[in-house]
Chains A and B, each alone.
Chain A
Amino acid sequence: MNGPTLKVAIIGAGVMGQQHARSWTQVPYATVTTICDFNLDAANKLATEFHAVATASIDSVLASDVDVVSVCIPTCFHTDTAVKVLESGKHLLLEKPMALTVADCQTIEAAAEASGKLLTIGQVVRFFPEYENAKRAIDNGAVGTPAVVRCRRGGIFPLWGTWFHDVNKSGGAIYDVGIHEIDWLLWLFGPVERVYARSLTESLGEDSKQDFALVTLRHKSGVISHMEACWADPVVSYNAFEIAGDGGLLTHDSRNNATLFLSTAEKQEAMSPLADADEPYNKQVAAFAKSIVEGAPLAVTGADGRAAIAVAAAALESSRTRKVVTL
């Protein structure tokens, strides 16, 4: 084979692991060689689809000759696994949220530093065309100087995982869906000075699979942003934002963006397809591959991942204490 090759392992064969595996196969010089999941059946199923080897042992991935690992496992296991992957000399694409605490994020960053391997966090919203376009538009002054921002993400509770309702494993809706908005807000409007938040996270559990958070951020730039993270709708998920500045207003609502609408007796479905190369998860993986192979700057760094966790942690603390938390 000519040119560079990248051997890829996926740790965690759940919803996100499947997505990463599909996206890595879109990179011409990458091959998914290993699928790892403690549930060997799940690993086998995905491995068969991608002609890869299945394993239930993380150690065998660490001992293998793969170049890069996508880690897509419950958040509470991120830190240990991320450190091991980096220490074994592999590049790491770590799903969001980076970890449950800022200290854990720092541990992961230190492991990356020590190994000299690249670390990126799956803050994939930066690769969503509508969110990327907003970044470009705002940087170009499309609404003048931004002043007040609203954004919303989520809807259905993630019943496909058995761990999301355990706040000690997932962090709840603020960590799991809100983190996308937080990262995007930091990317567009800069660091946050203070946070006030209210959420249902305290009552989240086996018997209350519902979370909803309303978070107000004051950025150091003076921008006020209001973020909504939802795990409380039985059917509908959507995302939306609006950015008001002294020269205009930019809005987005995913419910208005369908280019296709299917209606049959069995189902109704709105769709908004993109070219393969524009699919956000494909772009995320392609950008990381480019950083590994060509030394391009990382789109999302460990420090970016940690900054978002710091705001999420402040929001959860604010909701618990009902006090404003200053960062």
Chain B
Amino acid sequence: MKNIVLLSSAHLHADAYIHELSTVKDARIVGVYDNDTARAEAAGSRYGIPVFSALDAALDASDAAIICSENIHHEMFALETIKAGKHVLCEKPLATTPEAALRMVNAADAAGVLLMTAFPCRFSPAYQQFKQLVNSGAIGDIRALRGTNQGMCPGGWFVQKELSGGGAVTDHTVHVTDLLRDLTGSEVESVYCELGNGLLHGDFEDTGVVTLEFEKDVFATLDASWSRPKSFTTWGNVTLYAVGTKGTLEMDMFNQEGMLYSDLKGKVGVQNWGSSIDRGMVAAFVDSLLSGTLHEKAASGTDGLRAVEVVEAAYASTVALQPAKVNHRS
């Protein structure tokens, strides 16, 4: 049995991870620690789990931690967990700078603990089949890709740069970037991004259209905008479209849903009935803990770092107004 502690529930994905963890054999959640005590108490009662008042005690009681803090605190929580010799599953983006992400990767390597980045889209059955179809040559050789991860603006600390590190480009570039890296088996060489704040007019970017050039002869664009309005039917999407030499392949990851037109809520919404991508990811984390090696489908700390490097290059391109080379750290 593996004991897992939740370090902060600032990120709304904590709800899903805790829920899915309760369905996994051989692991249990031992409690929550948060630097925000009120939030810790709220999470404790919401999930029905103990609240730790000190980080040391929380880590002492655990084999591993799931970090769902504000982006800016990922590094601190990860380094403390690694120092205690415990394994880490960290919410994306892995860190707010490549340097911080690299420190996390290096610390985990040096301590011999696992560092996994929470990229649950890798575990989507639609993506798994997408990848399998591409690898089987169903559409020939991939020549170009187009992705979206559009969503509603989550608000809260996500739009406070001192806590999030950035707006929509920080939040939504990394998922599709990770899928594209995983799919092509190639690193991103250069990035161009157009961003703006025309949707919400805040001091953070709410729109971002990113072009990626891969080391392999493939290009892609991805739309990271928070462009789903409050009146939209659902939180957003993850889509991928591949152009191959023999055909095309299109994925709309969450398009397994019915429509609910509710007079009770005065709203049109969707009822998603697809497989949980979080369940697959949490199960893979527990598998990794049991086997001592990262699950083959899981995203490593280095995968998390590579995505953060792409975000860095995206921002750099908006200053130079030209594509920016990705600076790969090792």
Q: Which residues of A contact B (CB under 8 A)?
A: 145-148, 150, 194, 196, 198, 200, 210, 212, 214, 216, 218, 222-224, 226, 228, 230, 232-234, 236, 242, 244-249, 322-324, 326
How many of B's residues come within 8 Å of A, CB to CB?
Answer: 36
Is B20 on the interface with A (CB-CB < 8 A)?
A: no
19 more CB-based (< 8 A) A-B contacts, given A210-B243, A326-B321: A147-B198, A147-B206, A148-B198, A148-B207, A148-B223, A148-B227, A150-B223, A194-B321, A196-B211, A196-B323, A200-B143, A214-B144, A214-B211, A214-B219, A224-B194, A244-B228, A246-B200, A249-B228, A324-B321
Report if A230-B198 is in contact (Cβ < 8 Å); known contacts: A198-B144, A198-B211.
Answer: no
Chain A residues with CB under 8 A of B178: none
Q: A245 to B192, alpha carbons, bound, how many Å?
A: 22
Residue in chain B with minimal CB distance to A197? B211
Q: A244 to B5, alpha carbons, bound, how many Å?
A: 40
Chain B residues with CB under 8 A of A232: 143-144, 243, 248
Q: A125 to B199, alpha carbons, bound, how many Å?
A: 27
Report if A323-B243 is in contact (Cβ < 8 Å); known contacts: A147-B227, A223-B198, A233-B248.
Answer: no
Report if A224-B196 is in contact (Cβ < 8 Å); known contacts: A148-B207, A194-B321, A232-B248.
Answer: yes
Is B293 on the interface with A (CB-CB < 8 A)?
A: no
Q: A322 to B191, alpha carbons, bound, how many Å?
A: 11
Q: A285 to B248, alpha carbons, bound, how many Å?
A: 35
Chain A residues with CB under 8 A of B232: 249
A245→B221 contact, CB < 8 A:
no
Residue in chain B with minimal CB distance to A214? B221
Chain A residues with CB under 8 A of B221: 198, 214, 216, 226
B199→A200 contact, CB < 8 A:
no
Residue in chain A with minimal CB distance to B195? A224
User: What are 23 A-B contacts defined by CB distance under 8 Å?
Assistant: A145-B198, A147-B199, A147-B206, A147-B207, A147-B227, A148-B199, A148-B225, A196-B323, A198-B211, A212-B243, A214-B144, A216-B211, A222-B198, A224-B198, A226-B221, A232-B243, A234-B246, A234-B247, A236-B248, A244-B199, A244-B207, A244-B225, A246-B201
Q: A224 to B198, alpha carbons, bound, how many Å?
A: 9
